[in-house]
Amino acid sequence: MTAKADEPVKGNSLWADAWRRLLKNRAAIVSFAIIVVISLIAIAYPLVSRYVTHFTIHENHNCLRYEPPGMRGVPREYPRFFSERRHAFADVDTDNDGHVTVEELSAMLRRIEFAHLDRNGNGSLNARELKRAPRSFLTDDYDELVAGFDVNNSGAVDLDEAESFVDIFPYGEAGVFVRRYDGDISGGLSASEFPGVPKPQRFWMGTDSLGRDVATRVVYGARISLMVGLLATLVSLLIGVTYGAVAGYFGGRVDAVMMRIVDIIYGLPYMFLVILLMVIFGRSIFLIFVAIGAVTWLTMARIVRGQVLSLKSLDFVQAARSLGVSHAGIVFRHLIPNALGPIIIYATLTVPAVMLQEAFLSFLGLGVQAPMTSWGALASEGASPGVMTNYPWLILFPGGAFAVTLFALNFLGDGLRDALDPRVRKD
């Protein structure tokens, strides 16, 4: 009719079609936006925040434990530098050269801890004071211990002699502190770089049993939970797709044996086996991905096998074969790309399932270990008897964040299924 008549008719590809359908599904788009926002926060927040959640608060500073949400307080990131005003720059800078080094800071840390132990303030520790040290010694006989540490025979343990047991990691902690505020990368802090006592701010989600900011913990938990969700799904994809494609492609006896194996594994109480694996082989985060991924690939294998089975008799596969494409080439270049729709749908739904399993393990104390945390581990802390009724924010915030994420992922998975697989569409 018009000038366009001689242009070839452009058909809608499957993907363009699916994309159009997905955009029309408002709930799925909102869910997708929620997931993006949560992921961005999880990635970006630790880069801009001054908090370091993995630093537990020192035992002697417990005034901010179990603060309810909205409470104001001083961020207790490095409480021992901040909590006592007398440790101003001039105090820490012992050689008065205008530059605080890691050595000076760690010496200061040691002096502070020593002062905490030294109840009577006489500059040395007797047996009673030694007993308060947050360390376990080989023997309970503290008189003997004092005699052992007391090299100069003064009858008590002084600062130099206490070096071996008063705070054994001051150097590392001081190093982290210096690096964080060292703007000109001089290896030390000048007076202008040295942070003052910080302004009080609100803990929007309260604080936990150790005085840590729950909001920060929830963000760090999100990092682990989302990472486990993604990586374990990847593991399950890798195994499931390969296994299913091989079984479907070769068919016959290979298929029968491979799928029978899947049937048998399906019957296993796999969560018990995962628990067993976690208990026995330690609880590295790497093992969590592998253990969960290794038990969630079964359904994926079945789906891919079914797809490949119906695809492999089509003409384009015959064509590829007659061109001399290898088996691997046909499976990975031709069959799997054509089965991508169901794979994507199921993978999206695997992510929340996997995150739930990680949370389940962490909840039992078998998942990620302190100082790392995940939503499951946080919920476990919050759901322990006594805590949950007295300090409900410890379960409500991590649990809420988790539920919202799972909700969004499930919604997105449903939306993708409706978009990519028109046959099962609702209407």
**Binding piece for other proteins, criterion CB under 8 A, among 9-17, 184-192, 221-229, 373-381:** 373-381
User: Cβ contacts of residue 71 below 8 Å, gap of 6+?
Assistant: 202, 203, 206, 207
The smaller minimum CB distance to other proteins, of residues 344 and 388, is found at: 388
**Residue 229 touches other proteins, criterion: CB under 8 A:** no
The smaller minimum CB distance to other proteins, of residues 5 and 280, is found at: 280
Q: In the bound complex, what is the minimum distance in angstroms from residue 372's beta carbon to other proteins?
A: 19
**Residue 410 touches other proteins, criterion: CB under 8 A:** yes
**Residue 299 touches other proteins, criterion: CB under 8 A:** no
Q: In the bound complex, what is the minimum distance in angstroms from residue 254's beta carbon to other proteins?
A: 20
**Residue 262 touches other proteins, criterion: CB under 8 A:** no
Among 105, 363, 381, 412, binds other proteins (CB under 8 A): 363
> What HEC string does 109-167 produce?
HHHHHHHHHCCCCCCEECHHHHCCCCCCCCCCCHHHHHHHHCCCCCCCEECCHHHHCCC
Q: Beta strand 124-125 with 157-158: parallel, antiparallel or unpaired?
A: antiparallel
The answer to whether the beta carbons of residues 301 and 261 sit under 8 Å apart is no
What CA–CA distance (Å, rounded) separates 110 from 194? 19
Q: In the bound complex, what is the minimum distance in angstroms from residue 281's beta carbon to other proteins?
A: 8
DSSP 332: I
Among 95, 119, 407, 422, binds other proteins (CB under 8 A): 407
**Residue 273 touches other proteins, criterion: CB under 8 A:** yes
Q: In the bound complex, what is the minimum distance in angstroms from residue 64's beta carbon to other proteins?
A: 23
User: What region, left, alpha or beta, does residue 139 occupy, with left being phi > 0 and alpha being psi -120 to 50 degrees?
Assistant: beta
User: Cβ contacts of residue 264 below 8 Å, gap of 6+?
Assistant: none
The smaller minimum CB distance to other proteins, of residues 90 and 276, is found at: 276
Q: In the bound complex, what is the minimum distance in angstroms from residue 45's beta carbon to other proteins?
A: 22
Helix axis angle, 285-295 to 214-250, nearest 10°: 40
CA-to-CA separations, 31 to 38, 45, 411, in angstroms, rounded: 11, 21, 6
**Binding piece for other proteins, criterion CB under 8 A, among 44-52, 74-82, 330-338, 375-383:** 375-383
Among 231, 339, 402, 420, binds other proteins (CB under 8 A): 402
Tokens 């009577």 -> residue: 120
Q: In the bound complex, what is the minimum distance in angstroms from residue 245's beta carbon to other proteins?
A: 25
Q: In the bound complex, what is the minimum distance in angstroms from residue 344's beta carbon to other proteins?
A: 20
* 330-359 footprint of other proteins as x/- string (CB under 8 A): ----------------------x---x--x
DSSP 335: I
Q: Which residues pair with 203 in a beta bridge?
A: 71
Among 248, 367, 399, 415, binds other proteins (CB under 8 A): 399
**Residue 427 touches other proteins, criterion: CB under 8 A:** yes
**Binding piece for other proteins, criterion CB under 8 A, among 38-46, 243-251, 269-277, 327-335:** 269-277
**Residue 269 touches other proteins, criterion: CB under 8 A:** yes
The smaller minimum CB distance to other proteins, of residues 63 and 276, is found at: 276
Among 36, 44, 279, 370, binds other proteins (CB under 8 A): 279
Among 380, 381, 416, 420, binds other proteins (CB under 8 A): 380
The CB-based long-range contact list for 327-333 (8 Å cut-off, 24+ gap) reads 327/249, 330/249, 331/245, 331/246, 331/249, 332/245
What CA–CA distance (Å, rounded) separates 114 from 409? 51
The CB-based long-range contact list for 260-265 (8 Å cut-off, 24+ gap) reads 262/298, 262/301, 262/302, 265/295, 265/298
Locate 232 and state its tokens: 């374990």
The smaller minimum CB distance to other proteins, of residues 307 and 380, is found at: 380
Among 75, 170, 248, 376, binds other proteins (CB under 8 A): 376
User: Cβ contacts of residue 294 below 8 Å, gap of 6+?
Assistant: 235, 236, 239
Pick from 76, 62, 66: which is nearest to 393 by CA?
A: 66
**Residue 256 touches other proteins, criterion: CB under 8 A:** no
What CA–CA distance (Å, rounded) separates 414 from 349? 8
Residues that bind other proteins in the complex, under the rule CB under 8 A: 264, 267-269, 271-273, 275-277, 279-281, 352, 356, 359-360, 363-364, 366, 376, 379-380, 382-383, 385, 388-389, 392, 395-396, 399-400, 402-403, 406-407, 410-411, 414, 424, 426-427
